[in-house]
Structures are given as C-alpha cells and as structure tokens.
Amino acid sequence: MIYVFDLDFTLLDTKKFLAVLPGAMGVSARIFRSTREKYFPEISFSRKYSGYKHIDYLRKEGCIADTVRARKKVGALFKNMDRYLYPAAVPLLRKLREEKNELILLTFGDIRWQKAKVNGLSIKKYFDRMIITDKNKDSVLMFLKKSRGQALVINDNARENIAIKKAMGDRISLILVKSSHSRNVRHTMKEYCFNDLLRIL
C-alpha cells in the first residue's frame, strides 16, 4: 500500500506552530494575523506562506527593526519541530513502516519555508519520498497512476481531496483530516481527527 501524507494540519499541528511565530518575529498576534492576511491571502483555499518573507514585510511595515534577530529566532523553532507534531504521528508512521508500506510526504507551499519545516522533523526518516511543491497536489500526484499498488492520501484540505479524486479516480482513496480547511467546499466525506488514524489504519 502507498500512503501519501500531507504535512500542515495533518501530521503537523500547524495551528500550534503558527501560535509561536509572532513571538519569534517580535510582533503581537494581532499584527502577525493582519499582515499574514494582507501579504499571504488564501487563493483557491491555499496559501503560499513564508515566514522569511513575512519578516521582510514586517520590516517594510515598520513593525520590526531587526530582521536578522527575527530570522534567528524563527530558525531556532525549526531545530525542534517535533514538538508541533500530533501525538499519533510518530506511532502511526512507525507502524505503517514496520508493515512494509511505501510512505510519501507531500506538502504544498513556499518551497524554502516548507523545506525548513521538514528538515526540522525527525519523522522524515520514515518516508521513501518527500515532495515539497508549490504546484497543485492533484497534478503532482499523477505519477501514482503508473504505480502498481493502491494509494491512500491523508490530507486536511477538502477542495484538494476532491481535485485529487477527480484526477486519479479509483486508483486512489482518501482520508480527510479535520481542520480549518476540511470544510472549504461542500462535500460528503467523513472527517477524522488525526489522532484517530492510529486506530483505523
């Protein structure tokens, strides 16, 4: 079996991670949110966010004076990204790996920012392949049409899941993880808390 895992809001408690970014950048949560919405708006329910670029915009807005200090503090967060994983992430990946499944990590966003997050995670050792992209996930996953085994995608974005299913058809199954993106379009898919996956997979 091929398991394709999304990162943000799926394996990673991104809400928890975003909560510590304002302090690292040296701004209030209110300023962080307002500038994030201004410079990184959601387009088709996806957001190519970069904390590095955000720091530059905060300097431009006069919200911070020292970008070097802010970058160092944000960089320090990446040294222990495991603290932001959902509790079931490591046990689940270890279990699937021990069962000889093929594991793929697929994450969408700003390439440099997503790489920094992935590099700070110990779970990368469980994956046969890691795909960091700023392209639509359904187009990136087309290579699975040539694979022999059945694939299961675990992702929190309902709109992305519908596009993946449309592109891949019966070659792929989907699990929708409950998040702020799991209801960004009308659907009939069941939503799962990530920590429930250890029980059902």
- Domain ranges, ordered by start, for the chain: 2-13+82-200, 14-81
Residue 195 confidence (pLDDT):
83
What is the SS3 assignment for 172? strand
Query: Which residues have CB under 8 Å from 171's CB, separation 6+?
Result: 144, 145, 147, 150, 151
Q: Supply angle C-alpha 4, 76, 61, rounded to 5.
A: 95
CB 95 within 8 A of CB 123: no
What is the SS3 assignment for 116? helix
What is 2-13+82-200's CATH number?
3.40.50.1000
Q: Supply angle C-alpha 63, 65, 66, rounded to 5.
A: 125
Residue 18 confidence (pLDDT):
96
Query: Which residues have CB under 8 Å from 152's CB, separation 6+?
Result: 1, 2, 3, 4, 172, 173, 174, 175
Q: Which residues of the chain have pLDDT under 70?
A: 43-46
H-helix segments, 78-110: 89-98
Residue 46 confidence (pLDDT):
67
Residue 44 confidence (pLDDT):
58
